[in-house]
Amino acid sequence: MTRNRLFSLSTLAFTAVLACELAQAAQAQSAPLAATPPMGWNSWNHFAEKVTDADVRAAADALVSTGMRDAGYVYVNVDDTWEAGRDAQGNIQTNSKFPDMKALADYVHARGLKFGIYSSPGPKTCAGYEGSYGHEEQDARTYAAWGVDFLKYDLCGLRDLIDLYSPNDAAKASAMMRDAYLKMHLALVKTGRPIVYSLCQYGADDVWQWGEAVGVNLWRTTDDISDSFRSMALIGFSQAGLERYAKPGHWNDPDMLEVGNGGMNADQYRTQMSLWAMLAAPLLAGNDLSKMDETTRSILMNKEVIAVDQDKLGQQGSRLGPLQTWVRPLADGGKAVAVFNFVTDDVPQPVTLRFKELGFTGPVHARDLWAHKDLGVLSDAYTVTPPQGGVVMLRVWK
Ligand code: GLA
């Protein structure tokens, strides 16, 4: 064998490997990100600015030991307050609560989980920490090098700049905001690492109409949720009408779960879990996973409700008429139906579901997703009485 032949063989092998790698990279790029609403945990609702590396590791461990990871909760997302300033080259630094972000990401990945982080398109984040303004590509490269799989990008500091530059020019302000989100999307794509992109600007400027165009996978539709029935219900029930904007890869985000944080009772937390599933909303637990009681665990881990949230059709549910009855079409041709009792001082009221009005002809099969009970074959109607602040959720099929 001549030298030349050897050379051309190795060149061929190299070319084949390269082609294979390029194909894999292209596949990774084109594999749909957030094909179903992202599920996981985020530090903000419980830990807020106090979150530390140790809290995040404990959350990752708990996702595994409780079975939540296997139920689909895979993202471990560090929210605001991990940032310090920048070094002389402009690289973002972590503060003393997070001594080594790459090591933390490795810890999370080693448990079969994915790692998420937070920043702002402005100079400062909402909590006043360092934002990505002017360093978008550099930060995206840093995130990719750390092994980040999810970025929440929160307007805050940029809102102040927008106000400064175009206080009375709504069109210009809107363009600035869209540009800022597109800029980070392009920076993330350039890294070659698939990173779920979560936009947070509280629903301003009808973000559901342009979120997809600037490359985001989920967009917050409202102001921050808090751990009260009033806040949760106002946010959740206000989502009616947004269903046409959600689809695989692009989701309305009515903010994170408060289940287990203590401000609502079990029926009310079942309402949040059910409503978020009907809305095809991201399911990001916001409680201290290392100290969960059995009720909280059973709510977060209701696999039948999770299956509705994660249904492959990806069609967000709609409200049926003025009462809080919601219907969501499912990939198998069936429907999820949830009846809520959402006025806190309301006494439980019976609500009769008529299957014809839900789009079925003739008898249907039904299953109660909280009672975990088959209801058998039902002819034309079924009456449910959700408890105060609570819900009855069914799966109905032919
Ligand atoms: C905003 C967001 C919250 C959280 C905080 C962090 O308020 O909407 O979800 O990320 O900032 O500062």
The CA 134 to ligand 1 mean position distance, Å, reads: 21
Task: Residue 176: count other Cβ atoms within 10 Å of its Cβ.
Answer: 17
Around ligand 1, the residues with Cβ closer than 6 Å are: 44, 79-80, 125-127, 154, 200, 224
Ligand 1 atom with the smallest distance to the CA of 48 is 6
pLDDT at residue 29 tops 80: no
pLDDT in tens, 40-62: 999 999 999 999 999 999 999 99
pLDDT at residue 24 tops 90: no
Percent of the chain beyond pLDDT 90? 87
The CA–CA distances, whole Å, from 197 to 38, 170, 245, 248, 276 equal 10, 25, 16, 14, 19
Active site residue 80: no
Choose the residue to mutate in 41, 42, 43, 44 for probing ligand 1, maximizing ligand atoms within 8 Å of C-beta.
44
The CA 163 to ligand 1 mean position distance, Å, reads: 19
pLDDT at 8: 35
**Higher local confidence (pLDDT), 219 or 324:** 219
pLDDT at residue 297 tops 50: yes
Which residue out of 154, 227, 253, 288 is catalytically annotated? 154
Percent of the chain beyond pLDDT 70? 91
**Higher local confidence (pLDDT), 347 or 116:** 116
Whole-structure pTM value: 0.92
pLDDT at 321: 75
Active site residue 224: yes
pLDDT at residue 245 tops 60: yes
Query: What does the pLDDT average to over 86-99?
Result: 98
pLDDT at 343: 67
Which residue out of 61, 205, 224, 380 is catalytically annotated? 224
Tokens of 233: 């219900």
Q: How confident is the model at residue 363 (pLDDT cuts 50, 70, 90)?
A: very high
Choose the residue to mutate in 41, 79, 82 for probing ligand 1, maximizing ligand atoms within 8 Å of C-beta.
79
Q: How confident is the model at residue 345 (pLDDT cuts 50, 70, 90)?
A: low
Pick the residue whose CA is nearest to atom 8 on ligand 1.
Answer: 224
Query: What does the pLDDT average to over 190-219?
Result: 97
Choose the residue to mutate in 43, 117, 120, 126 for probing ligand 1, maximizing ligand atoms within 8 Å of C-beta.
126
pLDDT at 27: 41
pLDDT at residue 5 tops 60: no
Query: What does the pLDDT average to over 96-110?
Result: 98
Ligand 1 atom with the smallest distance to the CA of 256 is 9
Structural contact between residues 235 and 199, judged by C-beta atoms closer than 8 angstroms = no
Residue 104 amino acid letter: L
pLDDT in tens, 128-179: 999 999 999 999 999 999 999 999 999 999 998 998 888 889 999 999 999 9
Residues 6 or more apart in contact with residue 287 via CB below 8 angstroms: 45, 46, 257, 258, 259, 260, 261, 296
